[in-house]
Amino acid sequence: MADSGNEPEAKRKPGPPPQPPLREEDLQGYKFFTRIRQLLGALRGCAAHRNRLLHYDEYAALVLFYFFNPALTSLRGLQRASEFAKVQERLGLRRMSLGSMSESVRLFDPELLARIFEELAGAAPERSADPRLKALHQIVTVADGSLFRALPRMAWAVWLSDTDRAVKAHVQFEVLKCAPARLDLTTGQGAESEALAARLEAGRLYLLDRGYRSFKLLQEIVDADSSFVLRLGENAIYECLEEKAITPEAAAARVTFDAIVRLGCRQARQKLELPVRLVRVSVPASAPRGLGYPVKRVHSKKTIRRPPGEAHELLIVTDRLDLPADVIALLYQHRWRVELFFRLLKCVFGCRHLLSDSYEGVSIQLYAALIATLLLAEYTGQRPSKRTYELVALYLQGWVSDDELRAHLARLQGRAAKPN
C-alpha cells in the first residue's frame, strides 16, 4: 500500500517555474530617457522620503524605465534594477530599498507628474487624418473609462464587493493627435459622466458611448461651448421634427435615417433643451474574431449584449446640426481609437499589473504609462502601436540596427500617407 503521507504532494499543483535572476546586461535603452530626465528634474525637491533619500524624480524615472524593458515585471524587479551601477549612472538615481519604494509613493503628489504628462500631450503634433475631421473647427476628443483590476487588500478601490476591487481610468483621447490628453482616476464605481463633467473644456467635440447617456451632461457640454457625438441605446425615445433626405455620401456610409429630433419624454426634455441631429447607421454582419463573450444582460431587461458579428443599427446624436450625415458616421468610427489605446496600455505596456497598492502609486504608474506612449510617438513620429513598441524595445536593447528601425518607420509613414 502506498504511503498516505505522499498524497498531498501528488495532489499539489505545480507552480510557475522560477524566474532567472535579473542581470545588468538584461537592461538596455538608457538613451531613450535623456529628454525625460530633464522634465523629471522639476520633481527633485518634492517630498523626499522622510527616512530615506528617495526622490520623486528617481522613482518616476525607474517606473518609466520599467515600460521599455520586458525583463522587468514587478516592483521587486525594479528594486533589483536600481542596484546596478549602469542603471544608477544612466538614469541618475541611487539604490532603492523595497520598503522605500512601497512607502514613498504615498508622499508623492501624482498631480505633479500629471503636469509633465499634460505638457507633453499639449506639444504632441497632429497625425495625418481625414480632411473632413480637420475642418470641424473643434478638437475631436474621445472620452471613455476602463477598469484595471486591483487586489482585494486595496480597500480604497471600491468596485463590486469586498473581494472585487478595481480602479477606473477616465481618459480623454484626441483623435487627430492619436494621443491621450487627460486622465482622471477613480474607484471602480466612479461614474464616467461625472468624471467628464468635472473636466469639460470649450472648443471640443466629445465622442461618447452609451455610458454617457445623461441629458444633464449633454446640456453641460453645450453650455461649456463644446459639442457632442453620442451613441444612444436602441430603445431611445425621441420625437421627429424634420426628416432629411439621404445623400449619396450618406448612403455610402450606410446611413439609413437622418432627422432633427427632440430626445426623451417631456420630463427629460427639461434637462436638454435644444433639438439634436439623429442619424441611424446600419452595421452589416461580420465574422466574429476570437472566442467572443457569453451573451448576458448588462443594465436592464431591455438591454442585452449582442453576439459578436451580428448585424445591427447605431443611433447617433449630435448637437452639430450643420454636419453632413456621413461625417457624423465617420466621427463615431473614431471612438474606437480609445478602446485600442486601452488595449495598448493593458496588453503591451503591462498596466494590468499594478506596481503599488496605494492610490498615489497607481496614479503615478498610469501617468508614467501615458508619458511612455507619448515618448514612443515622439521618438518614432508615428502613433504608438504594438509592432512599433516591440521594434523600439528591441532596438533599445541592441537587437535591431538603426537601418532596420528606419526602414520600419519608413514603411509606417508610407502606409499613413495612403488615403483611406
Helices 386-396, 402-417: crossing angle, 10 deg rounding = 160
- Cα 14 from Cα 22, distance rounded (Å): 23
* Contact criterion met (CB below 8 Å) for 330 and 166: no
Mean pLDDT of the chain: 83
Q: What is the pLDDT of residues 325-377, one digit of tens each?
A: 999 999 999 999 999 999 999 988 989 999 999 999 999 999 999 998 998 88
Residue 212 binned pLDDT confidence (cut-offs 50, 70, 90): very high
| Domain spans, the chain | 222-285+309-322, 385-415
- Give me the helices (H) in 92-161, please: 98-104, 110-123, 131-134
List of E strands, 188-284: 204-208, 227-232, 238-243, 255-263, 276-283
Q: What is the pLDDT of residue 332?
A: 93
For residue 237, give the amino acid letter. Answer: I
User: In the 8-state DSSP scheme, what is residue 239?
Assistant: E
* pLDDT of residue 295 exceeding 80: no
**Lowest-pLDDT range of 213-227, 296-310, 315-329:** 296-310
Q: What is the pLDDT of residues 38-71, one digit of tens each?
A: 777 778 767 655 555 778 888 888 888 888 887 7
**Residues shown for the chain:** 420
Beta strand 255-263 with 276-283: parallel, antiparallel or unpaired?
antiparallel
